[in-house]
Amino acid sequence: MNFDSVAQSYISQAEERFALAKLELERKKYNITVRLCQEVVELALKACLRIVNVEPPKFHDVGPVLKDNLDKFPSWFKERIEVFASYSRSLRKERELSMYGDEETNTPPEILYSEYDAQQSLKMAEEILDYSKKLFEEKKRR
């Protein structure tokens, strides 16, 4: 399997999770929305790394790897890498909490998250997903 087909698969999976995240927001399942958005961001950013021929790491927050490979990206993408790394880091922190809740305080995840949290997560995920699709299309045209 080449980089392009794997990248395309990651983007497709990210699109599916994004659609599910929007449904979960409508259902007021805010913690599930946040969790799905974390997965969207991780998959889309890993696709971006593959598009520029960088093997993505096996961990969830790929922000540092994006920064380390800044020069491999086109300028329009490069100017957002700091922001994308921030999104990746902040959503990575929510990965377990959004699924299991705060186990130290026995607070279930449904109580931890609000509609605002879910909407902010969706905005981050949508921006990164849009950029990953644009990067993929640009690479495909070459």
* Torsions phi, psi for 39 (to 5 deg): -65, -40
Residue 52 amino acid letter: V
What is residue 2's predicted lDDT score, i.e. its pLDDT? 64
Look up residue 66 and give its two tokens.
């994006």
Number of other residues whose CB lies within 10 A of the CB of residue 111: 12
pLDDT value, residue 4: 80
Cα distance between residue 56 and residue 48, in whole Å: 9
Residue 95 has pLDDT above 90, yes or no: no
| Cα gap 97→79, rounded to integer Å | 30
What is the topology classification, in CATH, of domain 3-135? Four Helix Bundle (Hemerythrin (Met), subunit A) (1.20.120)
Instruction: Kindly report the number of other CB atoms within 10 A of residue 106's CB atom.
Output: 7
Which amino acid belongs to residue 112?
L
Enter the pTM of the model.
0.93
Please name which of 88, 115, 90 lies closest in space to residue 24, comparing C-alpha atoms: 115
pLDDT at 20 over 70: yes
Query: Tell me, what's the pLDDT at 27?
Result: 98
How high does pLDDT run on average in the chain?
A: 93
How confident is the model over 95-115, as a mean pLDDT? 92
* Contact yes or no for 24/44 (Cβ under 8 A): no
Residue 55: per-residue pLDDT: 82
Q: What is the mean pLDDT of residues 57-83?
A: 91
